[in-house]
Structure 1
Amino acid sequence: MKGFLMTRIIFSLAIVLLTILPRANSNELTDGWKLNGYVQTIPFLDGRDFSNKTYMPIYTSMKLRLGVEKSVGDYLDFNVQFQNSRVFGQEGAITTNNSHIFMIQGYLEFKNILNQPLSLKVGRYQSDYGTGRFISVSPWNYVERAFDGFKLKYDNKDLMLEAFYAKHTSETKSQNGNAFPTANIFKQTEYNDYDIAGLFGEKKLSDDMKIQALGYMELNNAKNAEGVKMLERFTGTVSFLKSADPLGVTVELAYQGGKNQGRNIAAYLTTVKLDYKISDFTLTIANDKHSGTAPNSGEVNTFNNYPAAKHRFFGLMDYFTTASTNYPLGVDDYYAGFAWKFAQDWNMTLFGHQFISNKEALNYGSEIDLTIRYNLDKKIFVEFGNGIFLPDDLMIDMFESALGPGHSDPALVTYLRFTARL
């Protein structure tokens, strides 16, 4: 009787789905498959330890991605991408296989739900909101950021709203299809997963002007040795963006509150950026400020935006990509520079940064970055990048306390980046 009832339920659900969804003919299911690919190879010369007496490591990173996508009518998209990330020679032998292939994306997207500009994405997906200061795919990294979860999106061109949920970490690593008394899933006594949920909205004010808002909650329900939850943190942001025509403006404000292992969180981020464009030349002046925590403080005042695209900000030498953990005093970045398209397929950027902490005007130092890029195609380019960092007392103290005396020289990094999106 029980099995018969379950069969009826499944049969009824199938009829409902077939009734609601548009019918796809055989051509829709077999035609229109598209391949996509991405290759990035970067040889590095890395002298970022502030010592001209040590060996400068030379290494090459590579990231290769291959995917397939398929649309069924105007109501369903399927997308899956696999990636391999490595440093040349890391296997140690030419016959060694470390099996570094993994799925970076894999999802179904149901579109035009109820004949409205409404879509639902289910699976493993990437997200990139606004400038990338808060949540982004972090494309510079060997492994780009992706989320396991759901995204419900409404987009009528002038107004876009998106609600998302993602599973950061699950205590249940696998689930057996059979229910039996000794199954691991039945041994859990409480919920210890790490979840993220939030809302994003964007309103266009004109063709070159828009406002954005993002709010998300992180709940790490695991407990420390004292039985206190690891994390209960809320982040709220608002952004105003105007493209350079000729004057561009970016203003972003963010606040974080909640608790980190029982300690109150009160942190903030501010960004003010002005661009002025004249033909193929764009001049920029800006300030990015991440709050920090004073030594021996009972609160957490260091702004933590770990899901952001860190390489886009705080200079190309990546000293502050982990600012929330390695630089808890906060980071204040005053920078200026220009981007110049000096020939048909050539462009360059030159920026100078002054980094200070948020406490007692302690300086990290100054950085100068130069990049020159040649575009073989819209999606294929070669980029030559260089950075030099002149350390101040705070940065010298941090490196010498970890590595010993003799780390007060200028730091250098040079790379050659080959990138193709296919």
Structure 2
Amino acid sequence: MNRFLIIAFLFAFTVTNAQLKIDAELKPRFEYRHGFKTLFPDDSDPAAFISQRTRLNAGYSMETMDFFLSFQDVRVWGDVPQLNTADNSGLAIHQAWALIDLNSSFSIKVGRQEIVYDDSRFFGNVDWAQQARSHDVAMLKYIDNSFKMDFGLAFNQDGESLTGNTLTTNTYKAFQYVWLHKDWENFSGSFLFLNNGLQFIDTIDSNANETRYGQTVGSHLNYAVGKFRFTSNLYYQFGKDVLNNDLNAYLIGLETYYKATENTTFGLGFELQSGNDNGIPANGKNEAFNPLYGTNHKFNGLMDYFYVGNHIDNIGLLDIHAKASFKLNDTSSLNLALHNFSAAADFSNDQLGNELDIVYSHGIQKYVTLKLGYSHMFESEGMEILKGNFDNNTNNWGWAMLVIKPTLFQNDNK
């Protein structure tokens, strides 16, 4: 009987004036860590493991509404023993949202969803992380030809309760933001304003618990002319941090890309994120920029020494980098990046080091891609002071990943 209902349900999807797409993702990744995120200490063994993300996605579209559901399981091979009666892996709903059209320009998108804007510098889905990032948010969307606007609201709570609104989970309490985007012939620009609320908990007086708000305002710009492309990020933060310090921080980034041939592109750029002198907020002021909900793994080196669960409220960062991208053939590509890192604020030794990143990608077949990566950190004395490690070990990281993304079912009745 249950099988009959499922078959009937799927058949109803296919014969109505709607579109149903079901796809999957399997992403096993082997990693060898010998100085990933921080300098490798003496008398330690390197880490090696295989992590895996498994997703099942279902998208359903009709004339005035879209619905999307994404289940995912995140695990490390072997973290659950064989013949186990229970599974402690990270099975979760990654996305569950509905997009409801109000008219030809306005719509509402509500539910658990990824928020990705521009180059993911401030809002991104952090797809490299097996668990990735999504938000519980309600969004009003507007689109009219080359102009887009999103207005989003989020309010988080531990669960249903009769009294109180203190959040104890490790996330933001609330935010409100507006994102505007406009396209022209050779130029595009975005504007973002975020009012970000973090929960402060007073361990002595619970009546002093409150939400403290910091604001971020900024822009992302793109300009293309001939074989050149220019991109920039400009952000400024003010208001309060969670410890009630006054925020006064900024990010300035600029990149230039030159398409030398149809298959070869070179890039040169820098990113400056402000920081606190000696890595500590002082005199009630916090001058360290926080990229908050961006895909930070994408920036400032793939070894995640900065802003990936670390380096918050610290000495900031000046990242001067050069990049090269080569399309080797129809199915393969090679990307190289070299970063020079230094402190943005006063520090006992400003030079932090250099990092080399190499990523190779090869399409095995339509739904299967192999990716290989190697990174090497050439630390300077400043990095040793920053990380509190003077062991002078080799610091490198290698990985190999399969990305398998088949379409399981799709009809085209829409």
Using the size of structure 1 for normalisation, the TM-score is 0.83
CA distance in 2, matches of 1:68, 1:322: 30
The answer to whether the 8 Å contact 1:255/1:267 transfers is: yes
Question: 1:235, CA displacement in angstroms?
Answer: 0.7
CA distance in structure 2 between the aligned counterparts of 1:189 and 1:42, rounded to whole angstroms: 40
Give the distance between the partners of 2:209 and 2:274, measured in 1 at CA.
Answer: 25
Query: 2:18·2:61 contact (CA, 8 Å) conserved in 1?
Result: no
Counterpart mapping for 1:240-389 below 5 A: 240-243=221-224, 245-260=226-241, 261-278=243-260, 279-295=262-278, 297-298=282-283, 299-322=285-308, 325=311, 328-360=314-346, 362-377=350-365, 380-389=368-377
Q: Does 1:87 align with 2:83?
A: no
The match for 1:38 is: 25
Q: Counterparts of 1:158-169 in structure 2 under 5 Å?
A: 158-167=146-155, 169=156
Do the aligned residues in 2 keep the contact of 1:244 with 1:275 (CA within 8 Å)?
no
* 1:268 aligned partner, one-letter code: Y
Q: Which amino acid aligns with 2:114?
A: Q
CA-CA distance at 1:306 after TM superposition: 2.3
Take 1:153 and 1:351, find their aligned partners in 2: how far apart are those partners? Answer: 36
Determine helix, strand or coil for the equivalent of 1:396.
Answer: helix
Report whether the alignment pairs 1:198 with 2:177.
yes
* CA RMSD, 1 decimal: 2.4
Query: Which amino acid letter does the alignment assign opposite residue 263 of structure 1?
Result: N
Describe the SS at the equivalent of 1:33.
strand
Instruction: Give the 4+ runs in structure 1 shifted more than 6 A.
Output: 25-28, 189-193
- How many angstroms does 1:333 deviate by? 0.5
SS state of the match for residue 235, structure 2?
A: strand
Greater percentage in helix: 1
Match of 1:5 in 2: none
CA distance in 2, matches of 1:101, 1:221: 27
1:182-218 Cα distance to aligned partner (Å, 9 max, x none): xx41x32789981111000110011x42001111111
Give CA-to-partner distance per residue, 1:221-273, whole Å, 9 cap, x none: 54434736453111111111135751010011000101122210011001100
Residue 154 of structure 1 aligns to which amino acid in structure 2?
Y
Residue 99 of structure 1: how far off its partner (Å): 4.5
Change (3 A) 1:189 1:118: closer
| Mean CA deviation greater in 128-137 or 221-230 | 221-230
C-alpha distance 44-191 of structure 1, shift in aligned 2 (>3 A): closer
Which structure 1 residue ranges, 5 or more long, are not aligned? Answer: 1-24, 175-183
| Post-superposition CA distance 1:345-382 (Å, at most 9, x none) | 11101111001111236122110111111123565311
- Deviation per CA, 1:381-413: give whole Å up to 9, x if none: 111100000111122123335xxx52x223110
1:285 partner letter: L
Rounded Cα–Cα distance in structure 1 between residues aligned with 2:209 and 2:245? 10
Taking the aligned partners of 1:220 and 1:259, their CA distance within structure 2 comes to 9
Q: CA deviation at 1:307?
A: 0.6
Compare CA radii of gyration and give the structure with the larger one: 1
Distance 1:142 1:190 in 2: 29
Q: 1:138 touches 1:308 (CA, 8 Å); kept in 2? A: yes
Q: Structure 2 vs 1, CA of residues 377 and 216 (structure 1 numbering), >3 Å: closer, same or farther?
A: farther
Q: For 2:83 and 2:257, locate their aligned partners in 1 and report how far apart those are by CA, in whole Å.
A: 49
Partner of 1:410: 394
Partner of 1:15: none
Q: Which amino acid aligns with 1:418?
A: L
Which digits, 9 at most, give the CA deviation of each residue in 1:50-108, with x for residues without a partner? 35763111111111110211112x20111111000111111245525114211001111
1:215 to 187, 193, 199: 193
Sequence identity (%): 19
SS of the residue aligned with 2:385? Answer: helix
Amino acid at match of 1:231: R
Change (3 A) 1:68 1:358: same
